[in-house]
C-alpha cells in the first residue's frame, strides 16, 4: 500500500517548502504541479506554451491539461511508494480525477494537510520569495535568505522573483484559491482526511507539527520521527 498525501492551502502559505521537507522525512517523492508547469515553460515545450498565459494571469490551467500531466507523471517508478502532492488537486473535478488515478493503482489518499495562514502572512511570504533559476530552490528575503545576496546557496545560480509574485497577480491567485480550491477543505474534512496545520510558525516548527499530526492521525508511517 503506498502513502499518498496532498498539501492544500492558499498561495504562498508554505506548501512547497513543507512538501519538500516531508518528502525527505518519509522517503517519498514530491510532485508539485506549479513546478512542473514552470519546467515546461522554461523548456519551451508545447505544454509549456499552453500553460504560460494561465500562470502569468494567476488562473488555473485547464483540468484536461493538468490531470493528463499528473496522470502521466505518476506512472513514473519513483512514485510506486506513493506521492506528496503539492498544488494538486485544486478543484472538485481534479479531486475526483485524483481518486480515479489512485484507485486504478489500488491506492487511496491517506491524508490532506491543510496549511493555514492569514492573508497578511501570505502576501508577505509571496512578495519576499526568491527562486533559483537553475533548479527552483526556494528562498525568502527575510525568513530564509541566501548566504550571498541574489545567488542560490546550493548551485550558485541567479535568484529571481516569479512573474506571478507581482501584487496584481497575487490578488488574482488568492481569489482563484477562494473560489475554486477552498471548497476542497470541506470536501476532505467530510471524508475524514483533513489535517489542519498552523502555517504561521517558523519553517522547522511547521515541519514538526506536520510530523506530529501525521503520526497521530495516520497509521503505518514507519519513517516518521517525531
**The one among 88, 114, 188, 221 contacting ligand AP5 by CB under 6 A:** 88
The answer to whether 170 and 127 are in contact (CB under 8 A) is yes
Q: Is 87 in the site for ligand AP5 (CB under 6 A)?
A: yes
Active site residues: 15, 90, 129, 162, 173
The answer to whether 224 and 211 are in contact (CB under 8 A) is yes
Query: Segment contacting ligand AP5 (CB under 6 A): 74-82, 101-109, 132-140, 185-193?
Result: 132-140
Compute the least distance from the CB of residue 113 to ligand AP5, in Å: 11
Mention every residue, 6+ apart, whose C-beta is less than 8 A from residue 89. 6, 95, 97, 98, 184
Q: Is 14 in the site for ligand AP5 (CB under 6 A)?
A: yes
Q: Which is nearer to ligand AP5, 11 or 82 (CB)?
A: 11
Compute the least distance from the CB of residue 8 to ligand AP5, in Å: 10
Phi, psi of 117 (to 5 degrees): -160, 160
Query: Segment contacting ligand AP5 (CB under 6 A): 39-47, 98-106, 135-143, 217-225?
Result: 135-143
Dist. CA 126–CA 171, nearest whole Å: 11
Name the E strands within 92-193: 111-116, 129-132, 138-140, 159-160
Interface positions, 57-76, toward ligand AP5 (CB under 6 A): 58-61, 66
CA dihedral 220, 89, 129, 153 (to 10 degrees): 50
For ligand AP5, what does the binding mask look like between residues 25 and 64, x meaning CB under 6 A?
Answer: --------xx--x----------------xx--xxxx---
Dist. CA 10–CA 118, nearest whole Å: 10
Q: Is 90 in the site for ligand AP5 (CB under 6 A)?
A: yes
**Radius of gyration, alpha carbons of the chain:** 17
Dist. CA 22–CA 111, nearest whole Å: 13
Q: What are the residues binding ligand AP5 (CB under 6 A)?
A: 9, 11-17, 33-34, 37, 54-55, 58-61, 66, 87-88, 90, 94, 125, 128-129, 138-140, 143-144, 164, 173, 202-203, 206
Amino acid at each position: 500500500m503506498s502513502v499518498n498525501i496532498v498539501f492544500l492551502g492558499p498561495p504562498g502559505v508554505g506548501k512547497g517548502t513543507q512538501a519538500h521537507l516531508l518528502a525527505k522525512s518519509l522517503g517519498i517523492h514530491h510532485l508539485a504541479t506549479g513546478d512542473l508547469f514552470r519546467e515546461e515553460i522554461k523548456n519551451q515545450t508545447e505544454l509549456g506554451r499552453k500553460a504560460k498565459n494561465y500562470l502569468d494571469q494567476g488562473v488555473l490551467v485547464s483540468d484536461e491539461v493538468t490531470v493528463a500531466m499528473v496522470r502521466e507523471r505518476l506512472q513514473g517508478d519513483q512514485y510506486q511508494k506513493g506521492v506528496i502532492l503539492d498544488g494538486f488537486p485544486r478543484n472538485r473535478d481534479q479531486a475526483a480525477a485524483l481518486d480515479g488515478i489512485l484507485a486504478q493503482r489500488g491506492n487511496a489518499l491517506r491524508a490532506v494537510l491543510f496549511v493555514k495562514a492569514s492573508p497578511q502572512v501570505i502576501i508577505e511570504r509571496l512578495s519576499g520569495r526568491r527562486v533559483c533559476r537553475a533548479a527552483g530552490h526556494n528562498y525568502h528575503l527575510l525568513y530564509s535568505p541566501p548566504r550571498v545576496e541574489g545567488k542560490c546557496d546550493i548551485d550558485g545560480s541567479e535568484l529571481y522573483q516569479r512573474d506571478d509574485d507581482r501584487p496584481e497577480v497575487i490578488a488574482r491567485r488568492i481569489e482563484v484559491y477562494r473560489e475554486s480550491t477552498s471548497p476542497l477543505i470541506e470536501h476532505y474534512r467530510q471524508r475524514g482526511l483533513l489535517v489542519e496545520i498552523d502555517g504561521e510558525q517558523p519553517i522547522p516548527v511547521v515541519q514538526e507539527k506536520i510530523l506530529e499530526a501525521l503520526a497521530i492521525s495516520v497509521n503505518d508511517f514507519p519513517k516518521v520521527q517525531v
